[in-house]
Amino acid sequence: MSPLAVRRIVLGIATPVIALVMAFAVVWIILEISGFDGWGVFHNMFTTGTEDRYVARAINRAVPYFFAGCAVAVGFRMALFNIGVEGQYRIAGLFAAWLGAQVNLPAVFEISLIVLTSVVVGAAAAALPAVLKVTRNVNEVVSTIMLNFIYGGVGTWLLITYLRDKHAHTVSTQTKALPHSAYFPAADKVLNGIGFQVPKTDPITGLLFVAIVLGILLHLLIKRTRFGFELRATGLNPVAAAANGVNAKAMVIKGMVLSGALAGFVGLPELLSNTHMFVGETFPQQLGFTGIAVALLGRNSPLGIGLGALLFGFLDVTTGSLQLSFNPKLKIPNEMALVMQGSILLAVVITYEVVRRLELRWQGRAVARAAERLAGETGGEPGEPATSTGSAGGER
């Protein structure tokens, strides 16, 4: 193995660690300034975070984060910014919950129907900004943000006027409850079978396995298929991709539709494992934006996104547990989770960029050295290749 390859592997492991250390340093400073006990908070988070029930809760929170992260990452891979996952999963969840409650099929068909509806509606919702971009040149960042507001408002309106369960005597507005055949089996049996101890109070959603399978499929799709290759090529160099016969417009539509389809999964844990209905007031919000952070954290790879999602889930549940603390030095406000997630995000983004630059410079130097050696062997002019790679080496 060449020294460059070794260094790259070391960097690959070290980078996320450095980024996390930086992020936690920032959070520690913020905590200390606000008068909390920084070390105490971290220590407490770690001890509670490794308790079984908190691990289970963190996983349950991580599953939708993972779906949202994947949805965003597909777009990012081709430099397409789907900021609209937020609106897409909400409207998809609404329609899936409504349609699923209209029928009562055997479990396999019932669940398939709900999943399919959610995926199709999510894909359709994402297709609109894609069409606007391709035909009318509307920037997808702006259009998806506007559509977040629009889908949210239209969803609320549809729920209140048409899709609501009119016989429910509750303060909240909700769709009819899904039949029992739509309850997704919990992962507990399988996990207990392979040696984990899932606490009885906090069952883990079976969608965890769906997430894992989906992650593997997505990895294969991006790395092993022609579509994935074209996707990455468009993201890396759209001009070169177009010159090599990639249809840029078709790629925008396909990428966006795939992203929206994945967004359709985000609301499923709530519908299939949690409340089993779409409650207007409590259906999870902001998952689309968390998904952006998770995708960036995981460098757009399914494995990374999974780890990022777990980290965010961990932060959620452990800061939540600190609320119950009797020690005022540890009782940090709930909002601290958001601040931590934000700082981690910025630290990670900047660290990765710096490391990428460093790597480029090392590559440039290695190439320059190899060229010099080659020139020495053939007796050529060593200055010539060294200067031509000099610009790559000097890139910073």
Window 46 to 105, contacts with other proteins (CB under 8 A): 81, 83
Q: Does 153 bind other proteins (CB under 8 A)?
A: yes
Nearer to other proteins by Cβ, of 7 and 361: the residue is: 361
Residue type, 282: T
Which of 17, 21, 142, 213: binder of other proteins (CB under 8 A)?
142
| In the complex, minimum distance from the CB of residue 7 to other proteins, in angstroms, rounded to a whole number | 21
Nearer to other proteins by Cβ, of 174 and 273: the residue is: 174
Q: Does 24 bind other proteins (CB under 8 A)?
A: no
- Number of other residues whose CB lies within 10 A of the CB of residue 188: 19
Q: Residues near 171 by Cβ (< 8 Å), separated by ≥ 6? A: none
275: which DSSP letter?
A: S
* Residue 254 token pair: 């396909």
Alpha helices for the chain (secondary structure H): 3-33, 38-49, 52-77, 85-102, 107-136, 140-158, 188-193, 207-224, 226-236, 238-243, 248-263, 268, 287-297, 302-322, 336-378, 383-393
Q: Does 126 bind other proteins (CB under 8 A)?
A: no
**Within its chain, how far is the Cα of 365 from the centroid?**
35
Q: Does 292 bind other proteins (CB under 8 A)?
A: yes
| In the complex, minimum distance from the CB of residue 67 to other proteins, in angstroms, rounded to a whole number | 18
Which of 13, 106, 245, 335: binder of other proteins (CB under 8 A)?
335
Distance between CA atoms of residues 235 and 106, nearest Å: 43
Which of 134, 150, 186, 233: binder of other proteins (CB under 8 A)?
150
Which of 272, 339, 368, 371: binder of other proteins (CB under 8 A)?
339
| In the complex, minimum distance from the CB of residue 239 to other proteins, in angstroms, rounded to a whole number | 13
Q: Does 42 bind other proteins (CB under 8 A)?
A: no
Which segment (11-19, 196-204, 305-313, 347-355) binds other proteins by CB under 8 A?
347-355
Which of 50, 112, 139, 225: binder of other proteins (CB under 8 A)?
139
* Residue 140 token pair: 């997808």
SS3 171: coil
Which of 32, 149, 213, 240: binder of other proteins (CB under 8 A)?
149
Nearer to other proteins by Cβ, of 146 and 177: the residue is: 146
| In the complex, minimum distance from the CB of residue 231 to other proteins, in angstroms, rounded to a whole number | 17
CA separation, residue 316 to residues 31, 58, 320 (Å): 16, 7, 6
| In the complex, minimum distance from the CB of residue 350 to other proteins, in angstroms, rounded to a whole number | 5
With CB under 8 A, what is the number of residues at the site for other proteins? 46
Q: Residues near 203 by Cβ (< 8 Å), separated by ≥ 6? A: 56, 186, 187, 188
* Residue 193 token pair: 């079978």
SS3 279: strand
Closest CA to 77 of 240, 218, 232, 301: 232
Binding residues vs other proteins (CB under 8 A): 34, 81, 83, 132, 136-139, 141-143, 145-147, 149-150, 153-154, 156-157, 160-161, 289, 292-293, 296, 333, 335-339, 341-343, 345-346, 349-350, 353-354, 357, 391, 394-396
